[in-house]
Structure 1
Amino acid sequence: MPLTRKAYRAAILHSIADPAEVGIEASYEYFEDGLLVVENGKISAIGHATELLSTLPADIEITHYQDALITPGLIDTHIHLPQTGMVGAYGEQLLDWLNTYTFPCESQFADKAHAHEVADIFIKELLRNGTTTALVFGSVHPQSVNSFFEAAEQLDLRMIAGKVMMDRNAPDYLTDTAESSYVESKALIERWHGKGRLHYAVTPRFAPTSTPEQLTLAGQLLGEYPDLYMQTHISENLKEVEWVKELFPERKGYLDVYDHYQLLGERSVFAHGVHLCDDECARLAETGSAIAFCPTSNFFLGSGLFNLPMAEKHKLNVGLGTDVGGGTSFSLLQTLNEAYKVMQLQGARLSPFKSLYLATLGGARALRLEDKIGTLHAGTDADFLVLDYNATPLLSYRLKQANNIAETLFVLMTLGDDRTVLQTYAAGKLVHQR
């Protein structure tokens, strides 16, 4: 294979550590006039343009961006592929919303043509918004995952997905059985897990929709394939928390249900966690599990405010999730706009550098992929974005008043959206151009 080497010159910013652990100043690297060198889908060098240019061959192709910022690709640790067609559905809290909107929408994925069409729209939306890796819920139908992975494989994206396991407390047209969910998941794992940059996640929807038998088999799958992911929901809504207590009276609490069935671990990501207690946060951290913080959907469905400071206290890995369709935007920039407000309502602050961390390196750590994505370090996958300072008239005007990179970054996260993403690169290839 011939060597393909290209360079990209612009302002460059990436997270290198969690600000909660090392302080803000030590948490990022910023090059006002930076250069990113990419070889065969990997980053080979990053630094000041003045220092790196002299080390490059004379004939290298250099793309120079004015008024732009290069960052790592964004990482969405919780999103639902089959809910694309019902995003922005009106007026319900979690349990009613599932029955009124979600389940009927997900039922359409029995149709292969529909699954293909939505997978295509979904991936285009992710890339348009600068999301290069996502942890994705399919529907109960294996076809939803096959369609998604087929589309992701064509673009060589690093994606994680799984077929929902759901054998009770849902409409008959949308349930599997404990046994069929195990067999279908296993077939998907054998076909897709570790193929290219794709990974499989065992996906029980949430404790109320799985019998003990199904949760047992979900835990069994994790034991059979040691590097699988596990994704589910936890403590999103107070009525949901009460329902779990009624369904599993023998367990200490919501997290203990998953713990009992051996679903906690280094590649286990639990969405929401709005109503977790201290002990549950400590247990999640102890097992290496992670939380997907989904501020937009927590506001939209009236679920509550995620306690990020409590998670930080326990050194619990936290990524960011759009949670489309409970969340109303594929944009992680817009999701960070909401995350800032969640902290404000709790009397806490969310610095722009912590926000950058949550959307990039924090998500990568939650997924145990920080050696591959989430930063722009040499040797990592060349998944990166070019953000346009002049994407909208207001953004352009406002950024001219910004005095430093902290202010610029914060404005990008409050005023920015899909229009701000000029280009998205995955494994060194241009996969979205505005």
Structure 2
Amino acid sequence: MHSIKAIRGSFFDITHTVQHPDALEQAARFIEDGLIIIDGGKIRSLQTWEEGRNQLPPSIPLSNFPDKIIVPGFIDCHVHYPQTEMIGAWGSQLLEWLNQYTFPTESQYHCADHAAAMSDFFLDQLLRNGTTSALVFGTVHAASVETLFAAAFQRNMRLIAGKVMMDQHAPPALLETPAQSEHVTRRLIERWHNKGRLGYALTPRFAPTSSPQLLSVVGELKREYPDVWLQTHLSENPQEISWVQELYPEREGYLDVYHHYGLTGHKSVFAHCLHLEDKEWQCLAATRSAIAFCPTSNLFLGSGLFNLQKSWNAGVAVGIGSDVGAGTTFNALETLSEAYKVAQLQHYRLSVYEAFYHATLGAAQALALEGVIGNFAAGKEADMVILDPAATPLQRLRQQNGKDIHERLFALMILGDDRNIYQTRIQGEIAWQLGQEERPAP
């Protein structure tokens, strides 16, 4: 296996983070015939083929992808891997859906064999959909994240995950005491955090399933391990918000519950954020907290519409999230298509540059990883997706009529799905490719 690799093709990325969506067109880079050099899993350079061809030693293998578009690996900022097996469960909004479908499904993950089988299946789904990095919820069981981390480590993926922390308002089999939660979480952090490309995320499910004592434990762990992530849910559903107000009447709002216990901040990612008050937007910005925008989930559960314009105005970083299993697809293209429609319903024009930003470099920024992944800058890890923009007859026709890269990428985003993922690479190595034999579902 060569440590240096060369890939020729059309490349698209966003070169730097921005403070306003109008700046994204200038930050977008499209090289129609480009050459990327990968050395030891990291990007050495990206330039045009004409600029780079004479600098390419004949001993370095060259992979050529004519008629494809190569983009940075997609980043999923919010997903529940144990819910993979209940995706598309009918008929409920958030709180009923948790009790009817989620909790019974997650109760199976005390079994390490089941968790291991689902970990493999889940990661295969990510890779076949072009997702190379993710922020992932496990269940309350240690086995759920032990097996997930082991499978991700084997694949050399950049994955952040955590064991759900939950001590009230859930079935008894899924509850733990704050002391138990602290002990198991600390053990998992020390075993897996920063092992290879893995990271640990403190994972209180949400305020209703967290007692004040548990949230105090989470805050203590966050102070003790300041470089770990934190992930939870915030203001997804009006009933949920009312419930939090009943449980925590002394707090000024939903976000203030988390903020009071020290859970906001850099590397804290709050999923959904559909019904925020102005002071909550201000708190997220002031603490450098981030948001995971989950359009397919928000639509599927009837939770509401995320306001992208407000996130920009407030200066809060946003990354896209599939939120499987309330979310209805692992595929970033399909998720971005729904994000576009969510924006349209609010008279906000989501450009394809902004959409891809939220799934690549913007998502990396939301996870505090913009210096490591998210675009093709020299020195970054070489995670990438080779997209076939004409995977179907309809797409082929539409691509032929696309006058520029914006129009071609937009058509790909709106019409695309997993059939467009031609190849997924992790640090330059092939991790999935079209036609690859897949392991059967567990």
Into which bin does the TM-score normalised by the smaller protein fall?
A: over 0.9
Give distance in 1, aligned partners of 2:191 and 2:23: 43
The match for 2:96 is 96
Residues 273-284 of structure 1 aligned to structure 2 (within 5 Å): 273-284=273-284
Letter of the 1:5 partner, please give it.
I
Residues 22-421 of structure 1 aligned to structure 2 (within 5 Å): 23-421=23-421
CA contact (8 A) 2:267 2:368 kept: yes
Letter of the 2:5 partner, please give it.
K
User: Cα offset for 1:390?
Assistant: 2.5
The match for 1:13 is 12
User: Secondary structure at the residue paired with 1:328?
Assistant: coil
Give distance in 2, aligned partners of 1:164 and 1:4: 38
CA contact (8 A) 1:19 1:354 kept: no
Give distance in 2, aligned partners of 1:109 and 1:25: 45
Post-superposition Cα deviations, 1:224-255, rounded to whole Å, max 9, x if no partner, equal 11100000000000000000000000000000
Q: Report sequence identity in percent.
A: 52
Give distance in 2, aligned partners of 1:165 and 1:396: 47
Where does structure 2 lack aligned partners over 5 or more consecutive residues? Answer: 435-442
The match for 2:440 is none
User: Secondary structure at the residue paired with 1:346?
Assistant: coil
Letter of the 1:423 partner, please give it.
Q
CA contact (8 A) 1:203 1:232 kept: yes
Letter of the 1:7 partner, please give it.
A
Give distance in 2, aligned partners of 1:289 and 1:412: 31
Give distance in 1, aligned partners of 2:287 and 2:276: 15
Letter of the 1:360 partner, please give it.
T
Moved more, 419-428 or 21-30: 21-30
Post-superposition Cα deviations, 1:322-363, rounded to whole Å, max 9, x if no partner, equal 000010100111000000001000011100000010000011
Letter of the 2:279 partner, please give it.
D
Give distance in 1, aligned partners of 2:18 and 2:315: 10
Letter of the 1:9 partner, please give it.
R
Letter of the 1:217 partner, please give it.
V
CA contact (8 A) 1:234 1:255 kept: yes
User: Secondary structure at the residue paired with 2:262?
Assistant: coil
Post-superposition Cα deviations, 1:268-324, rounded to whole Å, max 9, x if no partner, equal 000000001221111101101000000100000000000110110011000000000
Letter of the 1:159 partner, please give it.
L
User: Secondary structure at the residue paired with 2:397?
Assistant: helix
CA contact (8 A) 1:79 1:134 kept: yes
Give distance in 1, aligned partners of 2:172 and 2:422: 44
CA contact (8 A) 1:278 1:310 kept: no
User: Cα offset for 1:3?
Assistant: 6.0
Give distance in 2, aligned partners of 1:25 and 1:253: 37
CA contact (8 A) 2:269 2:291 kept: yes
Point out 4+ residue stretches in structure 1 off by more than 3 angstroms.
Answer: none
User: Cα offset for 1:21?
Assistant: 5.2
CA contact (8 A) 1:9 1:64 kept: yes
Post-superposition Cα deviations, 1:185-208, rounded to whole Å, max 9, x if no partner, equal 000001000000000000000000
User: Secondary structure at the residue paired with 1:340?
Assistant: helix
TM-score for both structures, normalised by structure 2? 0.97
CA contact (8 A) 2:19 2:315 kept: no
User: Secondary structure at the residue paired with 2:231?
Assistant: strand
Give distance in 1, aligned partners of 2:36 and 2:46: 5
Where does structure 1 lack aligned partners over 5 or more consecutive residues? Answer: none
Letter of the 1:328 partner, please give it.
T
User: Cα offset for 1:391?
Assistant: 1.4
Give distance in 2, aligned partners of 1:114 and 1:235: 32
Post-superposition Cα deviations, 1:172-196, rounded to whole Å, max 9, x if no partner, equal 0111111111111000001000000
CA contact (8 A) 1:18 1:357 kept: no
CA contact (8 A) 1:33 1:49 kept: yes
Give distance in 1, aligned partners of 2:29 and 2:267: 27
Post-superposition Cα deviations, 1:144-175, rounded to whole Å, max 9, x if no partner, equal 00010000000111000000000000010111
CA contact (8 A) 1:76 1:320 kept: yes
CA contact (8 A) 2:372 2:381 kept: yes
TM-score for both structures, normalised by structure 1? 0.98
Post-superposition Cα deviations, 1:385-416, rounded to whole Å, max 9, x if no partner, equal 10012312211121111110001111111111
Letter of the 2:9 partner, please give it.
A
User: Secondary structure at the residue paired with 1:372?
Assistant: coil
Residues 1:19 and 1:279: Cα distance change in structure 2 (over 3 Å): closer
User: Secondary structure at the residue paired with 1:69?
Assistant: strand
User: Secondary structure at the residue paired with 2:20?
Assistant: helix
Give distance in 1, aligned partners of 2:109 and 2:338: 30
User: Cα offset for 1:58?
Assistant: 2.0
CA contact (8 A) 1:18 1:354 kept: no
User: Cα offset for 1:24?
Assistant: 3.2
CA contact (8 A) 2:19 2:312 kept: no
Letter of the 1:11 partner, please give it.
S
Give distance in 2, aligned partners of 1:25 and 1:368: 23
Letter of the 1:119 partner, please give it.
S
Give distance in 1, aligned partners of 2:429 and 2:326: 31
User: Secondary structure at the residue paired with 1:89?
Assistant: coil
Output the aligned Cα RMSD. Answer: 1.0
CA contact (8 A) 1:19 1:26 kept: no
